[in-house]
């Protein structure tokens, strides 16, 4: 499904990995609100600014 933003141009839908979709599903089913998720992201951004990228774990892609 394509979405049309305010300026009238059509943008493609966001693409997510299976793992990301599963995480989003689990968060939604846990009862956490969208605002709570956004606040958590803001908190991590603040901590990264204050402490450095302590919470960033590098992602390694493995091909079989």
3-state SS class at 3: strand
List, for residues 26-44, the tens digit of each pLDDT value: 999 999 999 999 999 999 8
Q: What is the pLDDT of residue 62?
A: 62
Grade residue 12 by pLDDT with cuts at 50, 70 and 90: confident
* Mean pLDDT lowest among 16-20, 32-36, 51-55, 59-63: 59-63
pTM for this entry: 0.56
Within-domain flag for 63:
no
Domain membership of residue 21 as a residue range: 15-40
Q: How confident is the model at residue 3 (pLDDT cuts 50, 70, 90)?
A: low
Count of the separate structural domains present in the chain:
1
Contact (Cβ atoms closer than 8 angstroms) between residue 56 and residue 48:
yes
């Amino acid at each position: 499904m394509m979405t049309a933003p305010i300026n009238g141009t059509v943008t493609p839908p966001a693409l997510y990995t299976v793992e990301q979709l599963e995480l989003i599903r689990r968060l939604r089913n846990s009862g956490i609100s969208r605002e709570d998720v956004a606040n958590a992201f803001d908190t991590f951004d603040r901590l990264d600014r204050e402490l450095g990228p302590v919470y960033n774990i590098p992602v390694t892609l493995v091909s079989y």
